[in-house]
Amino acid sequence: MVVELFTPPRRAGRPLTVALVNNMPDGAFTDTEDQFRRLVSGAGPNLDLELYTITAIERSDRVALAIDARYRDLDELWTRPPDALIVTGTEPTQPDMRDEPTWPYIARLLAWAADSVPTVLLSCLASHASLLFFDGLQRERLPHKCSGVYAGPVANPADPLAAGLAEEMVTPHSRLNEVPVTALVDAGYRIVVGGEESPVGWSVATRDIGNAQFVLCQGHPEYGTLSLLREYRRDVRRYLQSRGALPYPLIPDGYLSRRAQRTLAEFAAVATSANHDPQQLAAAFPYRQIADSVQNTWRAPSMTLYANWLELARAAVATVA
């Protein structure tokens, strides 16, 4: 694949430009923007966040209006290389990522970013796409969805990405697949958070590709307080709509109080019984009752991770300047 490159000179003293390529489906599109905006804006002053998406993907009227108001088409990015790039994941729909409708766009974006952007941060499925594109590493299907908040060891406290983090970092995970730690290390990646001793493998890893440092997040440090609960409610509704054809989702680990877990377990017992109306039961999901009890335990370390990443971007820009 040949990508036409144009790299305008970077000016010292100007705001650091961070581009966000939002690939999330309609139900999570604006929430995802808000999540990344909070992390980026909390990483210090003098930052400009620019929004991009694949406008060729069909959208609902509500999301299309948001895109028209504040997003640029991905094609505009090629002549506007940012100082730092974030690429979101999306909900997987195909066993092979290369069959996803977004794959041609993401493949071109990854190839371009390796030559044109100092540092790139990839979220969840985007990380798996990068591992497949650059390293030929196939993700592996998990026995059941990995959903919850998990602690992973910080591999090296002296790592610039780990500055200020405790010995362990808690990170939300929500995924159906993984790339094993051993495959990642064998491909030359440095584990930042997680590892073989973590119940969910690696959370954050990095290596240089081309001219860029790639930071891969298999978890979701950007998630808001209620993101996992909203996804769990969505998965419960899908189970109800399938009338039992899909497996009932597991309650997210390490995320809810014991009381909230009991409430959801009682709801699951009713939902998996023979006699219920799916539509009425979906409406009765105890979302507000559970939401009021959720504690966000990952926001502070996530802010630190992003601040460290953007400091690396600043250093790279200063070196070029």
Cα 125 to chain centroid, rounded = 7
DSSP summary character for residue 181: H
Give dist(CA 136, CA 188) in Å, integer: 13
Residue 169 forms part of a structural domain: yes
DSSP annotation of 24 reads -
Measure the CA–CA gap between 16 and 48, rounded to whole angstroms: 6
Q: Are 181 and 159 in a shared domain?
A: yes
The identity of residue 140, as a single letter, is E
How much is the pLDDT for 14?
80
The pLDDT, as a whole number, for residue 278 is 87
pLDDT for 3: 37
Q: Which of these is catalytic: 33, 173, 217, 220?
A: 220
Residues 103 and 233 reside in one and the same domain: no
Domain count, the chain: 2
Whether 222 is catalytic = yes
pLDDT (tens digit per residue) in 294-308: 999 999 999 999 999
In a domain, 28, yes or no: yes
**Residues 149 and 276 grouped into a single domain:** no
pLDDT at 9: 43
Residue found by looking up tokens 């996803």 in the block:
100
Partners of residue 170 on adjacent β-strands: 151
Q: Are residues 80 and 146 in the same domain?
A: yes
Residues 83 and 181 in one domain: yes
Say which of 124, 128, 217, 231 is annotated catalytic: 124
Counting as low any pLDDT under 70, the low residues of the chain are: 1-13, 320-321
Shared domain for 130 and 217, answered yes or no, is yes
Q: Point out the catalytic residue in the list 33, 100, 178, 222.
A: 222
Half-sphere CA count of 79, side-chain side, radius 13 A: 4
Q: What is the pLDDT of residue 13?
A: 63
220 catalytically annotated: yes
Q: What is the CATH number of the domain that holds 307?
A: 3.40.50.880
Quick check: is 146 catalytic? Answer: no
pLDDT value at residue 37: 96
Residue 173 domain boundaries? 16-224+296-320
Residue 92 in any domain: the answer is yes
Q: What is the pLDDT of residue 43?
A: 80
What pLDDT does 152 receive? 97
Domain co-membership, 99 together with 39: yes
For residue 288, the 8-state DSSP code is H
